[in-house]
Structure 1
Amino acid sequence: MKSTATEALGSIPLLLLKTRSVPNDGYEEHFSLNAGSIRFKSTFVPVLEHKFFVDELKDVQNLLQQKQIGKPAACKYGGMIFTSQRAVEAFARLVEDGKGDAGWPFLGDIPIYTVGPATSRALCAIPQDPSLNIYGAEMGNGEALAHYMLDHYAEWYQDRSIKPPLLFLVGDQRRDVIPKTLMNPALGTDRRIQVDELVVYGTSVMESFEREFTEILRLTGDSVKRWVVVFSPTGSEAMLRSLGILDSETGKVQLGTRSQGSETFIATIGPTTRDYLINTFGYTPDVCAAKPSPRGVEDVIKHFMDKEH
Structure 2
Amino acid sequence: MAQKTPILLLKTKSTPSDAYDEYFTNKNYNPLFIPVLSHQFHTQNLAHIRDLFNAGALKHDNPERKYGGLIFTSQRAVEGFARMVEEDVDGQIASDSLKSLPLYTVGPATSRSLSSLVTSRLPHATIHGADTGNGENLAHFILEHYNSLIGNKNGKGEKLPLLFLVGEQRRDIIPKILMSEGLEGEAIGVKEVVVYETCVMESFEGDFTKIIDSYRFEDSDGEGEKVMWVVIFSPTGCDAMLRVLGLGSSKDNGDGVLVAPGKRVFVATIGPTTRDHLHLKYEFAPHVCAEKPSQEGIGGGIERFMEGRNGK
Which residue of structure 2 lines up, in the alignment, with residue 3 of structure 1?
Answer: none
Answer yes or no: is the 8 Å Cα contact 2:152–2:159 preserved in 1.
Answer: no
Inter-CA distance 198–285: structure 2 relative to 1 (3 Å threshold): same
Q: Distance in 2 between matches of 1:267 and 1:204?
A: 21
1:158 CA displacement: 6.4
Answer yes or no: is the 8 Å Cα contact 1:172–1:202 preserved in 2.
Answer: yes
| Residues 222-301 of structure 1 mapped to structure 2, 5 A cutoff | 222=218, 224-247=226-249, 253-254=250-251, 256=253, 258-261=257-260, 262-301=263-302
| Residues 209-224 of structure 1 mapped to structure 2, 5 A cutoff | 209-221=204-216, 222=218, 224=226
Which residue of structure 2 lines up, in the alignment, with residue 192 of structure 1?
Answer: 187
Give the stretch that moved more between structures: 139-148 or 62-71.
62-71
1:58 CA displacement: 1.2
1:234 CA displacement: 0.7
1:29 CA displacement: 2.1
SS of 1:219's equivalent in the other structure is helix
1:41 CA displacement: 1.1
Q: Distance in 2 between matches of 1:182 and 1:209?
A: 36
Which residue of structure 2 lines up, in the alignment, with residue 112 of structure 1?
Answer: 103
Q: Distance in 1 between matches of 2:98 and 2:30?
A: 40
1:102 CA displacement: 4.6
| Residues 70-219 of structure 1 mapped to structure 2, 5 A cutoff | 70-72=59-61, 73-105=63-95, 106-126=97-117, 127-157=120-150, 160=153, 162-189=158-185, 191-219=186-214
Q: 2:50 aligns with which of 54, 61, 69?
A: 61
Which residue of structure 2 lines up, in the alignment, with residue 5 of structure 1?
Answer: none
Report the TM-score, using the length of structure 2 for normalisation. 0.88
1:131 CA displacement: 4.7
One-letter identity of the residue aligned with 1:164? L
Answer yes or no: is the 8 Å Cα contact 1:15–1:227 preserved in 2.
Answer: yes
One-letter identity of the residue aligned with 1:205? V
Answer yes or no: is the 8 Å Cα contact 1:70–1:109 preserved in 2.
Answer: no
Give the stretch that moved more between structures: 16-25 or 235-244.
16-25
Answer yes or no: is the 8 Å Cα contact 2:53–2:59 preserved in 1.
Answer: no
SS of 1:290's equivalent in the other structure is coil
Answer yes or no: is the 8 Å Cα contact 1:140–1:292 preserved in 2.
Answer: yes
1:24 CA displacement: 2.9
1:9 CA displacement: 5.1
Q: Distance in 2 between matches of 1:71 and 1:12?
A: 52
Q: What are the ranges of 5 or more consecutive residues in structure 1 without an aligned counterpart?
A: 1-7, 248-252
Q: Distance in 1 between matches of 2:141 and 2:58?
A: 21
One-letter identity of the residue aligned with 1:226? M
One-letter identity of the residue aligned with 1:197? E
One-letter identity of the residue aligned with 2:241? M
Report the TM-score, using the length of structure 1 for normalisation. 0.89
SS of 1:220's equivalent in the other structure is helix
SS of 1:69's equivalent in the other structure is coil
SS of 1:112's equivalent in the other structure is strand
Q: Distance in 2 between matches of 1:111 and 1:103?
A: 14
Give the stretch that moved more between structures: 157-166 or 141-150.
157-166
SS of 1:133's equivalent in the other structure is strand
Answer yes or no: is the 8 Å Cα contact 1:70–1:79 preserved in 2.
Answer: no
Inter-CA distance 206–279: structure 2 relative to 1 (3 Å threshold): same
Answer yes or no: is the 8 Å Cα contact 1:182–1:194 preserved in 2.
Answer: yes
Which residue of structure 1 lines up, in the alignment, with residue 223 of structure 2?
Answer: none
SS of 1:113's equivalent in the other structure is strand
Q: What's the CA shift string for 1:128-161, capped at 9, x where partnerless? A: 2425300000011111111111111011136746
SS of 2:183's equivalent in the other structure is coil
SS of 1:169's equivalent in the other structure is strand
Answer yes or no: is the 8 Å Cα contact 2:60–2:99 preserved in 1.
Answer: no
Identity %: 46
Q: Distance in 2 between matches of 1:162 and 1:263?
A: 58
Which residue of structure 2 lines up, in the alignment, with residue 250 of structure 1?
Answer: none
Q: Distance in 2 between matches of 1:22 and 1:132?
A: 25
Give the stretch that moved more between structures: 103-112 or 148-157.
103-112
Q: Distance in 1 between matches of 2:25 and 2:83?
A: 30
Inter-CA distance 183–291: structure 2 relative to 1 (3 Å threshold): same
Q: What's the CA shift string for 1:165-218, capped at 9, x where partnerless? A: 1000000111111111110111122x1110000001101111000000011112
Please give the root-mean-square deviation of Cα atoms over the aligned residues, in Å. Answer: 1.8
Q: Distance in 2 between matches of 1:178 and 1:50?
A: 22
Q: What are the ranges of 5 or more consecutive residues in structure 2 without an aligned counterpart?
A: 221-225
